[in-house]
Amino acid sequence: MTAGNDLLEFQSNLNTTTTDVQTIRADAEKLASALDAAATASQSYLTFRKIIKVADAGFSAALTTLKLSENVAPLQGPSRALKDVLEIIQPRVVQIKDATDRAKKIEPLLTKIVQADRAVELTIMPAIVSTDETLVNIRDSIAEIVRAFDRVSTPNGIPELNPNAGTSRPGRDDFEGLFDEADDLVFPA
């Protein structure tokens, strides 16, 4: 007997579903890649913001120290030279820090991007990949069952299983005796 219509319809629907899940997986992988890039940029900005705050405080403290050390005769020359360099750099650092302070409003969004990236990486993508792999295995198994039904139902059949392959198909009577023997084996009368 060939595979029944219900099995063939199930196989067709399963193939469609598997293709759809593979499309979702490909799209999710692209989304995960873009989200990873955004998370990396967000994390870099958040790290940079922490560093620029420390750098600003460090430059301010260094300038104060150098202004005081200018009053000490042996340190006067090097202190003045270093102070002149820091006075050029420090305003730029303050400008950068002020710009990051103004952008502070986006920090919660950046943090959420990083959290979303982790969720996609640790939870969502593994679930999609697992679903895809499971559906592919089921699809392949159903295809094998359909092929087996088709192979057994051909006039040539499988000679190892049916010595009358190609001559006639077995009927109900051919199998009833098998069940009687099995019943006697399980529950002797």
Taking only the tens place, the pLDDT of each residue in 112-144 is 999 999 999 999 999 999 999 999 999 998 888
Boundaries of every domain in the chain: 5-153, 159-189
Looking at residue 161, its pLDDT comes to: 62
Q: What pTM does this model have? A: 0.60
In percent, how much of the chain has pLDDT > 70? 78
What does 44-108 look like in DSSP terms, one character per residue? HHHHHHHHHHHHHHHHHHHHHHHHHHTTSGGGHHHHHHHHHHHHHHHHHHHHHHHHHHHGGGGHH
pLDDT, one tens digit per residue, over 150-165 is 766 655 555 566 555 5
Higher pLDDT: 102 or 130? It is: 130
- Cα dihedral 172→175→180→183 (10° resolution): -110
